[in-house]
Structure 1
Amino acid sequence: MKTILALLIISILGILSCNVVKAEDPYKYYTWTVTYGTASPLGVPQQIILINGQFPGPRLDVVTNDNIILNLINKLDQPFLLTWNGIKQRKNSWQDGVLGTNCPIPPNSNFTYKFQPKDQIGGYTYFPSTGMHKAAGGFGAINVYARPRIPVPYAIPAGDFNLLIGDWYKSNHKGLQAYLDSGRSLTFPDGILVNGQTGTTFSGDQGKTYMFRISNMGLSTSFNFRIQGHKMKLVEVEGSNVVQNIYDSLDVHVGQSISVLVTFDQAPKDYYIVASTRFTRKILTTVSVLHYTNSQTRVSGPIPAGPTYQVHWSMQQARTYRVKI
C-alpha cells in the first residue's frame, strides 16, 4: 500500500512539474549597418550617417520586456557607438553604449547589443554617443508599447507619430569636431530639422486622437513646440506617465522626449506645426503640416507665435509636470 501511495505521489508531482513552464520574454533580432551617405537637409550637400540606408535611422518598435538582440556593423572610418536614451539597462550597464561602459566599435567591425526595456513603456530615442557623430545623423526613435493586458492611463490613440526635432549644422561632423578640439565653442546652428527634413506632413482623420512622440535630437538648442489651433494633452515625459494637463505649447530640451495626445477636432483643413528655438537671440523656426484627410484647404495665415527667451516661463512649465501615481 505504501509503495502504491508513493508511486501515486510521484506521478502527481511529475504531472505538476510538466505544467509549470517558465515563459520567457520574446526575442527580437536586428542587424543594422552604419554607413556614410550624402544628403541636403538644409539645401547644401553634406556627409550624413545612415543606418540601413536611412536618415533618421529605423524606428525600433518593441513591447515591454522584449529581449532586443541588435547586431551593429560599423562601416564608417571612425569608431562608433549608439546609446539607448532612456532605456534603464538594469544590471546591464555594459550595453548602454557610452564611453566608460562600452568601447567604441572599430571601423569594419561589429558589436551585438543585448538589452531589455524592462517594465518600461513609452517613447525613447537612440543616437551616437562619441565624437560629433550625432551632428551627422545616426539617430532614431524607440517606441516601447504596453503588453495587451497592461492598461495605460488614456484611450488607445488612432495612431502615433514620431517627431525627431533638432538643431542642425551645414558643417561636416569632422569639421565641427576639429572646431571644438581647437578650444572654441560650438557656433549657432544653421537650421532645425523634423525627421531629417526642414518640414513634413502628418495626416489624420477628423474627430480622431493621435499620439505625437516629440524628441529633441539637437546638439545644443531647446525648442518650443506648438500646433496651430490645437491643444495638446501631455501624457508622458521621459517614459513616465504624468498628470494629464493641457498645453498650447511645450518646451522640449536637448535629449528630452515627451508624448502628447492631439485630437483632430477643428475644421477640416491644414494647420501649422511649429518648432522654434528657445533661449537664443536669433530665433530659428521650422514648420511642418498637420493635415486632415478630408481637407481641401492648404495651410495659411500667420505662423503661431511662441515664447522666445523667457527662461522663467519654461521653468514654471516644467514644474507643472507631475508623475501620475
Structure 2
Amino acid sequence: MDLGRLVVAVVLSVAAGILHRAVIVGAENHHVFLDWEVSYAVSQPLGVAKRVIAINGRLPGPLLNLTTNDVAHINVVNTLDEPFLLTWNGLQLRRNSWNDGVAGTNCAIPPGENWTYVFQAKDEVGTFFYRPSLGLHAAAGGHGPIRVNNRPVIDVPFPHPDGGEFDVLIQDWYNMDATLMQQCLDGGRALPPPDGVLINGLGPYEAELTFEAGRTYWLRVSNVGTRTSLSFRVQGHKLLLVEAEGAYTQQKHYASLDVHPGQSLSVLVAADQPPKAYHMVVSSLFAGPELYGVGTVRYAGSTDKLPPGNPPLDDRSSHNSYNRSMEQARSIRMNMTSGAARPNPQGSFHYGHINVTRTLLLRNDESEIGGRRRCTVNGVAFANTGTPLKLADYFRVAGVYTVVSGWPETRNSTLSTMAIDASYRDFVQIVFENRLPSLQTWHLDGYSFFVAGMGWGKWSQDARSTYNLVDAMYRSTIQVYPKSWTAVLVYLDNEGMWNLRSQDLERRYLGQELYLRVSQGNSEVPDPRDEMPMPSNALLCGKAKNLKSWYKLAPSQHDHI
C-alpha cells in the first residue's frame, strides 16, 4: 500500500471510529456504564461442588437494567484462564452485529484482558438474558437477567404492578464440570441427563420471593439452561401472561407455562391467596427422569418457614404432553392494540399482507462425520474456523467461509463454514423441520420473527393455509416439537452477520448453527444508517489478527488480502 492510500485508510479508520460513536451515542440518549469482572467460583446448589463462571462474584450475574434507547457500555474483564465472550439473548442490537458476542462476529476476550461492549437498546422493550457463547461455558453459568423498560411516554397495556418485579432464572443443572462435559461430546458421547433444576442458581427450597397480600407482582422468567424444557408455576396462583421476548401478549391466565431453552416471558401474579407460604415449582418436561426445582413464595408476615405439606408436583397442566404443549404455544397471541417500544399498536405492521421473498427450509438431524457424532442443518455441521465471519467479510479475507444463496440439503453430511447471503429488507419465511424424537429450540440473533405456524409431520406449501397471519407472536426463540415443523416470518431490516442457532447447548456445540449475512449487496461501504461502522476498539484474531483496522475501501483501493 503506497503512502497516499495509507493516509486515506488512516483517515477513514479514524472517521469510522468517530462515526460509530456518533451513530450509536446520540446526545439525547441515556448512557449506562458498567464494569463486569468474569471469574471462576465454586457453587454446589445440589450438594456437589462445581467450578462455575461468576460475574462480579455472583451467579446469576448482575441485572442489566435498561430503558428503550439507552446506550450500554459494558466493560468485561476476563480473569479466566481461557477466552470468553458474552452474547445478549433477545436484544436486537440494531445495525450493530459488531457487538453480538458470538464466535462468528467477535474475537474472544483473551485471558487477563478486557473489552467494552457498546450497544443501544434501540426501539425495544422486554425480558431477556445474557450468557456466555463459547464452547460449553453456558453450562458453567455466566448468565444474568436483562430488562428493557418502556419509556415513560409509552403506555404499557396493564397497570404497573404495585408489588414490584422479580427476575426468575430457571435452568437444568449438571454437577459435571463443563470441561468434562466438553470432553464427553468431543469423545463422541451424548451428555447424560441433567442432575437437577435450579431457580436463580439455587437448589431445593433456597429460592424465595416475598409477596404482600393484595399486591400484584411482575415475574420475568427465563430458561437459561443447557437443554431442558421446563414448566413454571406458583402453587395456588394464576399466571397472567403479558409479554414474551419483547412483544406484549393477549392477556390470558395459565396454571403453568412451558418455557423452552432460551425463551423468556413475563407474568403477573396477584397475591390474592391466604397469607402463608406457597411452593414455586419448576419441573422438567418431555424427558426422564423427571426433575423438580422447588422454591418458596412467602407472604409478608407469614410465620411458615416452608410451605406446609409436600410440593404439588402433580398439578402441572402439561402432563408432559407434546400435544398439550403445542396447544399452549398456539394459544399465545400478540396484543394487537398496544405498542411495545413505540406508541403505535403492535398490530399496525400487517405482516400477513407482505409477499414472502424467499423460503429457507432448515432440517435438523444427527450424523457421523469423520468418525464423530455431529448435529446438522440440512446435512451440514457448522465449523468455527478461528476467524470471525464478520471480520473476514469486512477485510475480504479469503478461505474463512463460503457464502451461499440458500441452504440446500446435502446427500452426504459434511462439516463446513457457510453463511446464507440474505438481501436487506427481504421478507423471508424460515421453516424449521425437526426429524428427531426430541424437542428443539432455535434462536435468531439481531431479530424477532412472527411465529406463523407449527404442525406435525413434514412441512409443505399447503401448510400456509393454516398460518396465523393476523396476531402471531413476535419473538426471537421458538420451539420445534419432535417430528414436526415450525414456520416463522422475518423482515430482514437489520444489516450485519447474524447467528441462527440451536438453543440446546449440546446440539449447538456439535454444529447446529449457521449465519445470515444480511446486506444490500450493492455497496462496498454500508450506509451507517443501515449498519454501523466497525468499532474502533474491535479485537482482531485468526486470519485477521495482523490486519489494520481500517474502514472498508473499494477493492481497487487496497492490496489483495
* Fold shared by both chains (TM-score > 0.5): yes
Q: Secondary structure at the match of 1:244?
A: strand
Q: Distance in 2 between matches of 1:264 and 1:218?
A: 28
Spell out, residue by residue over 1:211-256, the C-alpha distance to the aligned partner (whole angstroms, 9 max, x if none): 0111001111001111111001000011110100110000000000
Alignment of 1:109-148 (within 5 A): 109-148=113-152
Query: Equivalent residue for 2:234?
Result: 227
Query: Do 1:201 and 1:291's aligned partners in 2 also have CA atoms closer than 8 Å?
Result: yes
1:310 aligns with 2:321: yes
1:205 corresponds to 2:220:
no
2:37 is the counterpart of 1:33: yes
Cα offsets for 1:92-117 (capped at 9, x unmatched):
01111111111111111111101111
The aligned counterpart of 1:184 is 189
CA distance in 2, matches of 1:23, 1:71: 21
SS in 1 for 2:326: helix
- Is 1:196 the counterpart of 2:204 in the alignment? no
Structure 2 SS opposite 1:290: strand
Distance 1:151 1:300 in 2: 40
Q: Which amino acid aligns with 1:87?
A: L
Q: Deviations over 1:63-113 (max 9, x none)?
A: 111000011111111111100010001110111111111111111111110
Structure 2 runs not aligned, ≥5 long: 1-25, 337-561
Corresponding residue of 2:165: 160
Distance in 2 (CA, whole Å) between partners of 1:149 and 1:23 is 19
Structure 1 contact 62–143 (Cα < 8 Å) conserved: yes
- Aligned residue in 2 for 1:15: none
Question: Aligned partners of 1:141, 1:263: CA distance in 2, in Å?
Answer: 22
Secondary structure in 1 aligned to 2:250?
coil
1:18 aligns to what?
none
- Deviation at 1:281? 2.3
Provide TM-score, normalisation by structure 2: 0.53
What is the alpha-carbon distance in structure 1 between the residues aligned to residue 48 and residue 288 of structure 2? 24
> Any stretches of 5+ residues in structure 1 without a counterpart?
1-21
Match of 1:171 among 176, 195, 200: 176
Query: What is the correspondence of 1:237-276 to structure 2 with a 5 Å cutoff?
Result: 237-276=244-283
1-side partners of 2:89 and 2:284: how far apart? 22
TM-aligned CA deviation for residue 185 of structure 1 = 1.2
What RMSD, in angstroms, separates the aligned Cα atoms of the two structures?
1.1
In 1, the alpha carbon distance for the partners of 2:110 and 2:188 equals 26
Report how far residue 276 of structure 1 moved.
0.3
Matched, 1:65 2:69: yes
Deviation at 1:296, TM superposition (A): 3.0
Task: Tell me by how many angstroms 1:30 deviates.
Answer: 0.7
| Paired residue total | 304
Give the Cα separation in 1 of the matches to 2:177 and 2:157. Answer: 43
Aligned-partner Cα distance in 1 for 2:154–2:216: 20
C-alpha contact (below 8 Å) 1:206/1:294 kept by paired residues: no
User: Does the residue aligned with 2:331 lie in a helix, a strand or coil?
Assistant: coil
Contact 1:215 1:256 in 2 (8 A): yes
How many angstroms does 1:23 deviate by?
Answer: 4.7
2:311 partner SS:
coil
**TM-score, normalising length: structure 1:** 0.91
Cα distance in 2 between the residues matched to 1:104 and 1:319: 39
Decide which of 70, 84, 89 is 2:93's aligned counterpart.
89
- Per-residue displacement from partner, 1:27-53 (whole Å, max 9, x unpaired)? 111111111111211111111111111
Q: Which amino acid aligns with 1:163?
A: V
Aligned equivalent of 1:5:
none
